[in-house]
Structure 1
């Protein structure tokens, strides 16, 4: 018997079509990794943020918040170092103190464009990004949270403080006005995706708001692609204290439909004791993976080493997270029995090792 190995090289231009849905730094972190494997990425981003520099521009210019979209554009950008530095620059003095140049750039483009998504498209061209970034809707929406004691608060930036004050869980969130229409391009990207990824990111303020936009949940249901939720590594103070993986999944299903996705990717990398203790002082902890309850919800847990510690903070590692997602796509979608998958920066390869038995002439092949 002899061993035969065949490698299939898949250029990034022909990589899997991936639709990622969310917001915040978790989404942009994942995008930095995914663009190493495929050019066919569509990031669908929440526009419910109303805090910080984004909130100021939203209030002053009556435009959707640019911050989360800017982060995704920066993650997918292919620009000179000077341009990257310029986009990251934050003013330190005067009326613009704390505002980023990237936000102002997108705001200016919005002023000369027919719509917010057109402005995002123009900025995408300037930055020569890999893939696409789309606002989930062009509507001017706000996020309202209702707590288990019946108290309600309007404004994404106010939810943290209100939850700390009320000291009870969030019952549900909704958009105001309700049922805004999703961007057609976002719906089409989800429907045509080989893989749909929810998260990582803040459960109630980055991921769920996208599911409340008309057309998004239906598009996920209609998609034949692999559907995965990337669970956060730690609970989030002021939002998900005490939540397990199943609690996250149950909240997502409650705000959409049961069985919206089949897989949940969780972290198996160890977190240093000192780092965990510091998080505990702030009311945050490692998210407990209660597999049995997740199974009862119809979701399979995939536990992989996808986290790292940077400057004392637990974060998803962009390279490790992207690699595990591409592996899952290859294993669950390509389904070539007995194959082994390896990667480099330009391709992902399928290495097929098969033992060849005797042929018709009696010789081994």
Structure 2
């Protein structure tokens, strides 16, 4: 039998958790990673070199690699605050930027690094050009730049992307649409709804591919609401926003965590963007999706609430096997 083809779309710290467990399964994995980050080290490198930001790609490379822990520590090492121009930059970001300059693009750099790190899956930036994220709020105000969105007080109506350094319509990276169309399953998230997942989906070619694909489209709903993005959102609200941006009810399956985060557990200083646990609206979900998988997907670590990658991937594999029958 052919290996199931699974494409995971997102960014931030969410999808690496899924990819790290998924790579241990007998599947053909493609990761499609956001390129709209304009803050921190990624933003500085992007601005200085007009490259697609390397940070989310770096985390996905590490998650999909079986590199020894020491090599991972080297790649993820972040320079100290007193290190002048290098302060705050992870070494891996600088390596990706250097190879991007050598190879002429971040796309080619990532293809080279997947071989270097012995990655069996495929990793593509969602676009080969750096993108700028625009958020239009319900009061009509527009904020430009992913790192600025959470600072505006208001509810986001919709987001869209533009090419940062030219006026052309944003395009998907080569092979991304092909991967979506040939997949047995597409996994969206987990991750920040408006700033990690949607910047990929609103690229017109990717949006159309998700509408057209015969693949099962599964969304791994966030555990916590997020300051400046999804305050007071239920799980059904998350799905509604995704489908509205896609222009059609595309989500087939939603995975929701039903395990409670212990009261006062979250380290509010370290994880200050996360507010309260996402509430459930199973009736609302049942009106738009074919199935809801509710289970204990919670992993508590270092004062934060994360998805347990093994538990999520176990359910995803059950789903994809069911489709293959």
**Do both proteins adopt the same fold according to a TM-score greater than 0.5, normalized to the shorter chain?**
yes
Distance 2:73 2:124 in 1: 23
Equivalent of 2:281 in 273, 281, 290: 290
1:341 counterpart residue number? none
Deviation at 1:313, TM superposition (A): 0.6
- Contact 2:9-2:33 within 8 A present in 1 as well: yes
Residue 322 (structure 1) aligned with residue 310 (structure 2): no
| Matched position secondary structure for 1:105 | helix
1:41 counterpart residue number? 29
> Can you list the C-alpha shifts for 1:18-53, whole angstroms capped at 9, x where unaligned?
001111100111100101113410000110000110
Deviation at 1:307, TM superposition (A): 1.4
**Where in structure 1 do 4 or more consecutive aligned residues deviate above 6 Å?**
279-283
Residues 121 and 36 of structure 1: CA distance in aligned 2, closer, same or farther (over 3 Å): same
Deviation at 1:118, TM superposition (A): 0.8
Distance 2:295 2:257 in 1: 5
- Contact 1:53-1:99 within 8 A present in 2 as well: yes
- Contact 1:304-1:324 within 8 A present in 2 as well: no
Deviation at 1:119, TM superposition (A): 1.0
2:188 counterpart residue number? 198
Deviation at 1:283, TM superposition (A): 6.7
Equivalent of 2:90 in 100, 118, 123: 100
Distance 1:29 1:240 in 2: 21
TM-score relative to the length of structure 2:
0.93
Larger radius of gyration: 1
- Contact 1:32-1:76 within 8 A present in 2 as well: yes
Equivalent of 2:76 in 71, 78, 88: 88
Equivalent of 1:50 in 22, 38, 46: 38
1:187 counterpart residue number? 177
> Can you list the C-alpha shifts for 1:58-114, whole angstroms capped at 9, x where unaligned?
011110100001100010112233321110111112210110010001001100113
Deviation at 1:299, TM superposition (A): 4.6
Equivalent of 2:17 in 20, 29, 38: 29
| Matched position secondary structure for 1:205 | helix
Deviation at 1:222, TM superposition (A): 2.6
Q: CA-atom RMSD, angstroms? A: 2.0
Paired residue total? 318
Q: Which runs of 5+ in 2 are unaligned?
A: none
2:157 counterpart residue number? 171
Q: How does 1:126-275 map to 2 (within 5 A)?
A: 126-162=116-152, 166=153, 168-177=154-163, 179-275=169-265
Residue 304 (structure 1) aligned with residue 320 (structure 2): no
| Matched position secondary structure for 1:187 | helix
Deviation at 1:124, TM superposition (A): 1.0
- Contact 2:5-2:182 within 8 A present in 1 as well: yes
1:124 counterpart residue number? 114
- Contact 1:199-1:231 within 8 A present in 2 as well: yes
| Matched position secondary structure for 1:242 | coil
- Contact 1:145-1:153 within 8 A present in 2 as well: yes
Residues 137 and 282 of structure 1: CA distance in aligned 2, closer, same or farther (over 3 Å): closer
Higher relative contact order at CA 8 Å, sep ≥6: structure 1 or structure 2?
1
Greater mean alpha carbon deviation, residues 168-177 or residues 282-291: 282-291
> Can you list the C-alpha shifts for 1:222-246, whole angstroms capped at 9, x where unaligned?
3222110110011111211100111
Deviation at 1:285, TM superposition (A): 1.3
Residues 101 and 242 of structure 1: CA distance in aligned 2, closer, same or farther (over 3 Å): same
Residue 75 (structure 1) aligned with residue 63 (structure 2): yes
